[in-house]
């Protein structure tokens, strides 16, 4: 992936999938799908933080991340249900920008993902009011331990990373779908002759968690 394909593909998402796969091979990075996610509050003030891009639907055209619905990002998405994300891999010299409307995943999808999480992460999701003020970190750790004991500990104590459906997903925690109406691919070039192409499409709301998309159009951009 030294250059963008010529001619440019009609749909950018197979390329996004390929770049994500390239970033994930070789075990070079701990979190190859780490994405900076920007949201804005009701007064248009932006904020940004990292999340893990956990799923890319190439066919439908959305990216999924998981979080606490009452966190700062969750509250900001309640106020303005659009977000922008960026992924960058230094060793690939590649950047991907993703933008579009954000909706909550169907409950069944969030349930299924929650069941794959390690026990400790599940307990943390139950205990943490993510982004709420915390006076005493040690008290938080005690609450974690107490919750862990009250719930009987991991189903397979020898393998607490295994996860499993033992704990139910709390309703305040789950996935978001970032539906993609804008995707920009960027490849580093010599003398700052970076290749950029921006893809855009119109989305129409179908139901609570889905959109349908018109065909993509693409436009190369100056570096
Ligand atoms: C590499 C990395 C990945 C992260 N992934 C997630 C994630 O998938 N979901 C999440 O809620 N927080 C994740 N975090 C923590 C967030 O960056 C952030 O601290 C948290 O979500 C609270 O953000 P907020 O107060 O803006 O809602 C991650 C942090 C890092 C550094």
Pocket lining: 71 vs ligand 1, CB cutoff 6 Å? yes
Pocket lining: 199 vs ligand 1, CB cutoff 6 Å? no
- pLDDT higher than 80, residue 163: no
Pocket lining: 52 vs ligand 1, CB cutoff 6 Å? yes
Q: Whose CA is nearest to atom 11 of ligand 1?
A: 67
Pocket lining: 66 vs ligand 1, CB cutoff 6 Å? yes
DSSP labels, the chain: --S--SSPPS-SHHHHHHHHHHHHGGG--S-TTEEEEEEE-TT--EEEEEEE--EEETTTTEEEEEEETTSHHHHHHHH--EEEEEEEEGGGTEEEEEEEEEEEPPHHHHHHHHHHS-HHHHHHHHH--TTS--S-HHHHHHHHHHHHHHTTS-SSTT-GGG--TTSPPPTTEEEEEEE-SEEEEEE--GGG--EEEEEE--EEEEETTEEEEPPPEEEEE--
What pLDDT score does 144 carry? 97
pLDDT one-digit tens code per residue, 187-208: 999 999 999 999 999 999 999 9
Cα(206) to centroid(ligand 1), Å: 29
Domain borders along the chain are 13-117+172-221, 118-163
Cα(58) to centroid(ligand 1), Å: 24
What pLDDT score does 4 carry? 96
Residue 192: active-site member: yes
What pLDDT score does 26 carry? 83
Pocket lining: 50 vs ligand 1, CB cutoff 6 Å? yes
Query: Would you identify the CATH topology of the domain 13-117+172-221?
Result: Pnp Oxidase; Chain A (2.30.110)
Question: Which of 192, 201, 205, 220 does the annotation list as catalytic?
Answer: 192
pLDDT one-digit tens code per residue, 115-161: 999 999 999 999 999 999 999 999 999 999 999 999 998 888 888 78
- Mean pLDDT of the region 11-20: 98
Q: Whose CA is nearest to atom 24 of ligand 1?
A: 72
């Amino acid at each position: 992936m030294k250059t963008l394909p010529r001619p440019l593909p009609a749909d950018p998402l197979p390329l996004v999938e390929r770049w994500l796969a390239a970033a994930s091979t070789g075990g070079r990075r701990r979190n190859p799908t780490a994405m900076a996610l920007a949201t804005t509050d009701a007064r248009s003030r932006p904020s940004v933080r990292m999340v893990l891009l956990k799923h890319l639907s190439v066919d439908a055209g959305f990216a999924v991340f998981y979080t606490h619905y009452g966190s700062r990002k969750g509250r900001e998405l309640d106020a303005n249900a659009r977000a922008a994300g960026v992924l960058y891999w230094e060793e690939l010299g590649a950047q991907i920008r993703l933008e579009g409307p954000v909706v909550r995943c169907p409950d069944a999808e969030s349930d299924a993902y929650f069941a794959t999480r390690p026990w400790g992460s599940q307990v943390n999701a139950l205990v943490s009011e993510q982004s709420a003020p915390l006076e005493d970190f040690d008290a938080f750790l005690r609450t974690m331990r107490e919750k862990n004991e009250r719930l009987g500990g991991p189903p397979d104590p020898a393998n607490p990373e295994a996860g499993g459906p033992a704990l139910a997903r709390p309703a305040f925690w789950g996935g978001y779908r970032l539906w993609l109406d804008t995707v920009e691919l960027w490849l580093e070039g010599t003398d700052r002759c970076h290749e950029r192409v921006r893809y855009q499409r119109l989305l129409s709301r179908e139901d609570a968690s889905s959109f349908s998309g018109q065909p993509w159009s693409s436009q190369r951009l100056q570096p």
